A and B are shown apart, each in its own frame.
Chain A
Amino acid sequence: MGQGLGFQQLRKLLLEQDWEDRKELAQKLEQLDSELNTREKLEERVNPILQDQEARIQREFPVLFGPQITESIKKQIKESQDEVVEVLYPIIGRMIKKYITSEIQKLSDQIDAQMEMAFSWEGWKIRIKAWISGTPQKDLMLSKLIEPKIEEIHVIEKNSGMLMGSYTKKEGLDRDMVAGMLTAIKSFVEDAFETEAQELESIDYQNYKIIIKSFNSFFIAVVCTGKLNAAFKDKIDDELLSFSEKVLNKAKHPDKEEVQPDVIEQGLAEYFQDFEDLNE
């Protein structure tokens, strides 16, 4: 009996710690089981990770999926053109309709303004002009609506393409580079068609027209908008000739070959600032 009691006590002493560990482990397992199998508890742990992932995907979506999306849209458009046209047709149609309506409204407003002007001094001037020139009055009124305007003028050295001076109503591209590219285009056309005695006189692009007037050592490029009529071109020709004669000679430094750009720019502003008002 004494031996049995001793053995029991020894066993208790040796295994007590193991039992406690086992009990603790069983509790942890139970807790884990409950966390995994209870939706609310699992959500509590997993949600922050999912939210982080979601934020990362949102942030890097264009990089991660951009190429695949572009490729799949391209493929989709290519494979089902009819469906795409069907979907886009009403949208594009509405856009065009809206644009035309707005443009007609603008024209109508301008015509209203012209009609109001009909009995003014300006109106009488148009009538007299129409009577003298034989041009229908409506044509004169329409041409007044799309009046030509000078937007920019560049005086450019012929060979090098270096800008000698310029005048512009709005700041845009680097003028030195514009001068260079205009020279390159002009040279290319003249070289390509081997037209030594002939020169490029104008470049058209939609609402803009660049009139090029060549002189001996330089050329002048005039960028215009609106409907250019013969009278306007004549007037530009006259002004450019007079400008080159009076200003450019003065701009040339008496001792050096180089010209003074400020003299040219001042001259251009004087000649062309109110050019449209003079075009009567």
Chain B
Amino acid sequence: MNKKVILIGHFGVGKTSLVKRFVHSQFSEEYITTIGVKIDKKTLTVDGVIVNLLIWDIAGENSQQKVPKSYRLGAHGALYVFDITRPATYENMHQEIKALQEVMPDLPILVMANKKDLVSTEELNETLSKIQPYNAIATSAKTGELVNEAFEELTQKMTK
């Protein structure tokens, strides 16, 4: 079964690095901004079901309203990524997720708090409490921590 996953979030939060870590098990410190959209594919087996994930890594924008609507259409799941070290990347998260849910009411959405390797446990907990009621998975594209788990959790939600 094929599923379309979209990655959204501000620029520089690490969307492309998360995809690179998940699909190719690689990480690079170099920052290359995504132009438009980049599509990758990865096959997962979840609960005995083979799922082809078509991952649309959408170019980051300060506001998600600037992202072409058509990139989001037909998505089966979404990953909202923010950078733990930059409050500006999660300050408007509630409104942006709400706007997405208005267009696609049943869309499973998972929040990823990325760049965990750059903060202490206290700083992480403080940030996570700020984004309540959303529960984010704290990931690090650099170390690979919880990256696969996040994609797998979303896949499980999509196949239910």
Contact = CB atoms under 8 A, between A and B. Distances in A.
Interface stretch (B68-76, B80-88, B120-128, B152-160): B68-76
Contact of B41 (A158, A177, A184): A177
A110 B52 CA distance: 46
A191 B69 CA distance: 8
B52 A187 contact: no
A187 B41 CA distance: 20
B4 A181 contact: no
A192 B73 CA distance: 16
Interface residues of B, number: 18
Given A176-B2, A176-B52, A159 B39 contact: no
A184 to B, nearest CB: 5
Nearest to B1: A258
Nearest to A258: B1
B74 A161 contact: yes
B40 interface: yes
Interface residues of A, number: 18
A162 B75 CA distance: 10
Given A157-B74, A160-B75, A180 B56 contact: yes
Interface in A108-159: 157-159
Contacts of B68: 187-188, 191-192
B79 to A, nearest CB: 16
Given A160-B75, A162-B54, A184-B56, A177 B39 contact: yes
Contacts of A212: none
A161 B4 contact: yes
A35 interface: no
A270 to B, nearest CB: 24
In order of increasing CB-CB distance, the 5 nearest A-B pairs are: A160-B74, A159-B74, A187-B70, A159-B73, A180-B39
Given A161-B39, A176-B41, 7 more contacts: A160-B74, A162-B54, A176-B52, A180-B56, A184-B37, A187-B70, A188-B70
Interface of A: 157-163, 174, 176-177, 180-181, 184, 187-188, 190-192
19 contacts: A159-B70, A159-B73, A159-B74, A160-B74, A160-B75, A161-B39, A161-B54, A162-B2, A162-B74, A174-B41, A176-B2, A176-B54, A177-B40, A180-B4, A180-B56, A184-B37, A184-B71, A187-B70, A188-B36
